[in-house]
Structure 1
């Protein structure tokens, strides 16, 4: 085998490589991907001086590389993706001077990169996606063209040297949950074409971002702390797509100069409620581009030929009026590669004439409306169907780019399609499907489901009782359905319980859904589960089980309770919320042992019964800096002891209530 140049062992059950691997002096290609039983690499492998390509992806048992790994001087491509147990890299890695591509994605336990990384002068592609424990980067190097840092949940800042990456074309920083700022010199990345900052914690963009003159794609969606977009964005004349949906909690300023972006074709601005602007031209352009939508209704009023092949946003309505499948097939949606967003509804706004022929079932119509693979947003609503079309039952194959999906008002449908394998699904809305009673593991569609899903809205599901969140079992590990949720919103689902656990999410909102908290709370069993920071409960009856579930959220920092019954039954266990900083209670009874939350800094009590015990508990909150108690009918305090307490409370409460 001394003349062997390529060796492929991918997926084999091999537990060790031969110790004399170094004798394969002419070996150039070695594929060990999926060798999950492989524990160590022999030191002799490091003497393969002609090796150019090494694939060790999914070698999940490898914990470290040989110390002389850097002796592979000819190596140009190294794939270590999904080496889940890999905790560190050897210092000698910096000696791989010919390395062009390095993939370390899904190395969950890798918490640091050695300083020798700065020596990889010829590296062009670096993928660190889903390195959940990575806290900082070493100094970077000038020839890098692609840098993927998505889902580096603990990465807090970028090195200043990033502005020296003069050849960088692609930068992905999505879901860097602790990244709050970008370097002021960020605008020096003059060759940057693709920038994704979605779902990061960035609060402001540097003004120099408007100097990225070669930028073609920019995604700042779901940056909920982002309110300011300084600079003149009219300089971004090559920008073709801008996604600013759901930023700044819906309040943001329109980018100045947006009307001058002559190449802008797609502007996504979902979830923006209030916005401000400086120039009238900008707001006119913004409204025109963000709200434009072509429409087609099966009413005889228009023809498929009326639609431009360049349309990127389309609404197809009146499925319930189709009399002939030929007119549906004529649309040929699957050929419309420019189509970015599609809404399909069973009803519409067309007038049409009286129907003289028998109607085609909406399931058959929907089967013929297969969208193109390029589709990123899909809304299906108001259709009379009992099953989904074949292209939705295998949706990951047909729509691999889908990021936003809404299934609404499907009132005759009793099941959900398997959505868990959609690789880019970011936002999911399920509402008004009264025939659904249970969601089981089939919803996941396979192993490692919903790896990119950040936001779920479950709304108006009156008969939904069970949602199974344990997806699959691998060895001793249980994979849960939603590993990286940011926002979970549950509205008007009175019977819903999650089994075995309520999914972890950064933000949880519950409205008129009494059983949800009784589901129990999922522990941090995996590295990538984010702690729950914010919970808002509205119009619920809190049972003892629900309160136990709530107190299990030990990472909770903000808790809001409105129009709820049962909060006053929360006893001593409330002091388990050791991280709670802000508590807002409205139209509900106040817990008797409020004084046990010693970490509390902000307390708001509005339109709640306030008595002597309430004020006494408030005075035990030694960390409190912001207090507001507003009651339309405050309890009268009469005796001297209580009067003294009121005086102390008046000193503590620096501001009077203005309501």
Structure 2
């Protein structure tokens, strides 16, 4: 909540809200409490009629068994008027029997219950509209009388895979509007046909779970109010033959109010019927992972509201005539009159993953701005791609300036960027992308500087590829009057640099890096050798995994090997000179795994007495002199690929 909005709400509610664990007056209606491990003993001068209880930051505190007992709480606290109970941040080993005393309760959120049962008294909450028990893996059954909860409209049992059967009375929940049975193992009865008010139904399963969905095929067509339906990964359990699949798909075609249909990960699905054209209100169809579908029906153009279609790449070749966003890999192309592009089709979308390809075809910066990318807060993985040699209609910087990523982005990839400088949001990347944990920058041929990536608090992986003009990669900044170096990249664990001919890393490696790949970057290899030789901070480098490929620098100049005491795995590929010194070999005495992609084996190989695993490829011979047997005795694994052994 924005601070100004929060302050305004506090001012209006005054003493009706308590957030400190105690009621300050008898007018308090909403309480936020921080301790669920003991009976509610709230200090008040007179009974308070609490309407809502929300426990905060109680993930390690076990919910007390008498937490809601009216006999315990009165006269200090009156819970008889309580409508909302949120236990989502509590450790619930067992839902207390006392919850049954909250007769006017309408909202109950009690996820991740660790007990195998919930108390039968919960069905006495006749006013309850919302019940959330998600993630309660140990629950083995629901109360037989659950059908008595006639007013229940929202039920979330996602992840309750210990429940194998639904009670017969479950069919009496006629008012259900939202039902989530995702990642569950339970049979689905024909009683679902009576849920005529249902608008949201999630039956998706993980591939490791075999769910019994039989019986739903015959009744799904009766769920005429459905707006959202998720059948991810479960059609094989609902339909045992192609004929049954056709019947099921035919039933889906009658759901005239359907807006979102998720059929992902149904690899047995080979076609979509022409009758899907009847789904005129459908705006999102997700077919990712339906690898046996080779084409979609011509009737797709009749789905006039379809805005988002998620399909695998091999299906897309026959869909260019559809005026909609094909996700998650969206390809920009010019309109028929060449005056605009189709990027505006991304306006109504909000996927988890999004790649925007061929950005060179964007016709104006305004087009890019119109999709309001920054508002798409579901996006976790985001990629921008330009075709490097292609002609641009708009400068790359102008386009990227308008494509501000949402703060939810965790993985960002940018490829083919051709401008010399980068947008303002990229230079303020910590402010815009605080959750970023991985970033790859590829083929930035003209860019001479990086954004302040070292300030990203959660960055774990960084890849720099084909940045031909980039000269410096600073891992520290100077602070204080004495000019001391302060290391950046507080969490960086993996760094890859490839084809960055001018790049030098200064003054040293990030402090927590454990994986480093240097590919065709001799300047990096030399600069690291120099900086590590003069840096005390590098003396205890935690680097365990090093890869060096396509280097023309002789191995005896790889001075960084002197400063990697934790190095356990070394990969060398297509390097021109592996002659080295006795001193360097001594520093490799703890090496456990070595991979070589070289035409000739180096003679120093037999000196690595701690080596346990050796992988060889494209090697012409294995003449290791008379000490070869000494090497073979210490090895536990030897992998040879495309190698002639003599």
TM class, shorter-chain normalised?
0.5 to 0.7
What CA deviation, in whole Å up to 9, does each residue of 1:261-288 have, x standing for no partner?
887934447xxxxx9x8xxx74556878
CA distance in 2, matches of 1:217, 1:68: 38
Partner of 1:552: 566
Shift of 1:396: 1.7
The structure-2 alpha-carbon separation of the partners of 1:478 and 1:364, relative to structure 1 and needing over 3 Å to count, comes to: same
Distance 1:425 1:293 in 2: 35
Q: In the TM superposition, what are the counterparts of 1:572-587 in structure 2 within 5 Å?
A: 572-577=586-591, 580=593, 583=595, 585-587=597-599
Structure-2 separation of matches of 1:553 and 1:120: 56
- Corresponding residue for residue 175 of structure 2: none
1:76 to 85, 101, 106: 85
Q: Which structure 2 residues correspond to residues 391-406 of structure 1 after superposition, within 5 A? A: 392=402, 394-396=404-406, 406=413
Residue 30 (structure 1) aligned with residue 42 (structure 2): no
The counterpart of 2:323, out of the listed 278, 289, 308, is 308
Shift of 1:76: 1.9
Q: Alignment partner for residue 255 of structure 1, among 247, 267, 285?
A: 267
Kindly indicate whether residue 441 of structure 2 is the aligned counterpart of residue 430 of structure 1. Answer: yes
Structure 2 CA distance for partners of 1:160 and 1:189, relative to 1, 3 Å: same
Matched-pair contact (CA < 8 Å) for 1:187–1:210: yes
* Structure 2 SS opposite 1:379: strand
Q: Does 1:53 align with 2:53?
A: yes
Distance 1:479 1:592, change over 3 A: same
Q: Tell me the alpha carbon deviations over residues 234-261 of structure 1, each in whole angstroms, 9 at most, x when there is no partner.
A: 95857944667xxxxxxxxx92333258
Alignment correspondent of 1:7: 17
Contact kept? 1:334, 1:373, Cα under 8 Å: no
Which structure has the larger Rg?
A: 2
- Conservation of the 8 A alpha-carbon contact between 1:257 and 1:282: yes
Residue 611 of structure 1, CA deviation: 1.7
Q: Deviations along 1:449-486, whole A, 9 cap, x unmatched?
A: 46xx8x86532112334456789x9xxx9994767x8x
Secondary structure at the residue paired with 2:628?
helix
Deviation, structure 1 residue 369: 6.3
State the match for 1:462 in structure 2: 468
Distance 1:443 1:572, change over 3 A: closer
What SS does the aligned partner of 1:54 have? strand
Residue-by-residue CA offset, 1:578-622 (whole Å, 9 max, x unaligned):
6x5x7455446545466433543x643651664227614423325
> 2:196 maps to which residue?
none
2:384 is equivalent to residue 379 of structure 1: yes
**1:538 is the counterpart of 2:554:** no
Shift of 1:193: 2.4
Offset at residue 161 of structure 1 (A): 2.2
Any residues of structure 2 matched to 1:268-417 within 5 Å, and which?
Answer: 268=288, 282-283=293-294, 290-292=315-317, 308=323, 315-317=331-333, 327-328=339-340, 332-333=344-345, 335-337=347-349, 342-346=356-360, 363=365, 366-367=368-369, 373=375, 379-381=384-386, 382=388, 383=392, 385=395, 387-388=397-398, 392=402, 394-396=404-406, 406-415=413-422, 417=426
Partner of 2:628: 615
Counterpart of 1:161 in structure 2 is: 162
Say if 1:461 and 1:330 are closer, same or farther in 2 by CA, change over 3 A: closer
User: CA shift at 1:77, angstroms?
Assistant: 0.6
Partner SS for 2:332: strand
| CA-CA distance at 1:512 after TM superposition | 2.0
The number of aligned residues is: 476
Whether contact under 8 Å (1:328, 1:368) holds in the other structure is: no
> Cα gap change, 1:512/1:126 in structure 2, threshold over 3 Å: closer, same or farther?
farther
- 1-side partners of 2:476 and 2:162: how far apart? 43
Unmatched segments (≥5 aa) in structure 1: 10-16, 33-37, 82-88, 104-112, 129-136, 149-158, 173-184, 198-203, 221-230, 245-253, 270-274, 296-305, 349-359, 521-530, 635-659
1:182-234 CA-partner distances (Å, limit 9, x unpaired): xxx9575899727597xxxxxx74665997989727499xxxxxxxxxx9899
CA–CA separation in structure 2 for the residues paired with 1:505 and 1:493:
19
SS in 1 for 2:421: coil
Q: What is residue 512 of structure 1 aligned with on the other side?
A: 520
Q: TM-score, normalised by structure 1?
A: 0.52
Q: Match of 1:619, SS?
A: helix
Q: Output the CA distance in 1 between the equivalents of 2:515 and 2:294.
A: 31
Task: Give the corresponding residue for 1:153.
Answer: none
Counterparts of 1:500 and 1:116, CA distance in 2:
52
Task: Note closer, same or farther for the CA distance 1:506–1:76 as it changes in structure 2 (3 Å cut).
Answer: farther
Are the aligned partners of 1:318 and 1:345 in contact in 2 as well (CA < 8 Å)?
A: no
Which residue matches 1:84? none
C-alpha change, 1:545 and 1:414, in structure 2 (3 Å) is: farther
CA drift of 1:492 comes to 1.7
CA distance in 2, matches of 1:490, 1:243: 36
What RMSD over aligned residues (CA atoms) do the two structures have, in Å?
6.1
Q: What aligned pairs does 1:473-484 form with structure 2 within 5 A after superposition?
A: 480=489
Structure 2 distance, partners of 1:331, 1:433, is 23
Q: Does 1:100 align with 2:115?
A: no
When residues 460 and 488 of structure 1 are mapped into structure 2, their CA distance, relative to the original with a 3 A threshold, is same
> In structure 2, do the counterparts of structure 1 residues 162 and 46 end up closer, same or farther at CA, with 3 Å as the change threshold?
farther
Q: Which has the higher helix share?
A: 2
Residues 433/206 of structure 1: CA separation in 2 closer, same or farther (3 Å cut): same
Instruction: Say which is worse superposed, 388-397 or 430-439, in terms of deviation.
Output: 388-397
| Matched-pair contact (CA < 8 Å) for 2:331–2:356 | yes
Corresponding residue number in structure 2 for 1:216? 230
